[in-house]
Amino acid sequence: MEIDLKSSQPIYSQIGEQYKYMLIQGFLKKGDAIPSVRKLALQLSITPGTVAKAYSELERQGIIETVRGKGTFIAGIPKDTPDKGEILKVKEKLKKECMELIYLGLGKKEVLQIVEEVYDSIKKGEKAHA
C-alpha cells in the first residue's frame, strides 16, 4: 500500500480508498485479514491513530469487520442497495470534473473516451484475481 503524505487528501481517507480499490479489483475478498493497525502504521511510517481512524471509518461503511483481540477482516462489498442518493452525490462530483474537461476544450466524444479509459484502467487487474 502506498500513500502520498503531500496530498491534500487526508491520509486516513487515502487508506480507505486503497482498500476499496483492492476490493473491486479482486486483490482482496471477503474474509481476508488485513494488517493490524500497528503493523500498517509501521509499514506506512505513520501513527497508529491515523490507521485506526481509517479502519473505523471502513468498519462504519460495512467494508471491514473487527474481531476483538483477533484482528480486522474484509466484510465484502455491500451491494444490497444500489443507493440512488449515493449515485446522485457522485453525479454532482462528476459534473465538476466534466466542467473542468469542457473548460480544457474537450468535446463530448473526448470526455466519454477519457471516462472509458479510466474505467478500463480500474477493471484492468480484475480478471487476474477474481
Of 30, 38, 39, 95, the residue at the interface with a second copy (CB under 8 A) is 95
Give the binding range for DNA (CB under 7 A) out of 20-28, 52-60, 82-90, 101-109.
Answer: 52-60
Q: How far apart are alpha carbons 101 and 106 in whole angstroms?
A: 6
Partners of 67 in beta bridges: 71
DSSP 63-130: SEEEETTTEEEE-----S---HHHHHHHHHHHHHHHHHHHHTT--HHHHHHHHHHHHHHHHTTHHHH-
43 or 113: CB nearest DNA: 43
Q: How far apart are the first and last CA of the chain?
A: 19
The answer to whether 77 contacts a second copy (rule: CB under 8 A) is yes
Ranges within 57-76 binding DNA (CB under 7 A): 59, 66, 68-72
Give contact residues for DNA (rule: CB under 7 A). 10-13, 36-39, 46-50, 52-53, 55-56, 59, 66, 68-72
Give contact residues for a second copy (rule: CB under 8 A). 5-6, 8, 10-11, 17, 20-21, 23-24, 60, 65-68, 70, 77, 79-83, 86-87, 90-91, 93-106, 108, 111-112, 114-119, 121-123
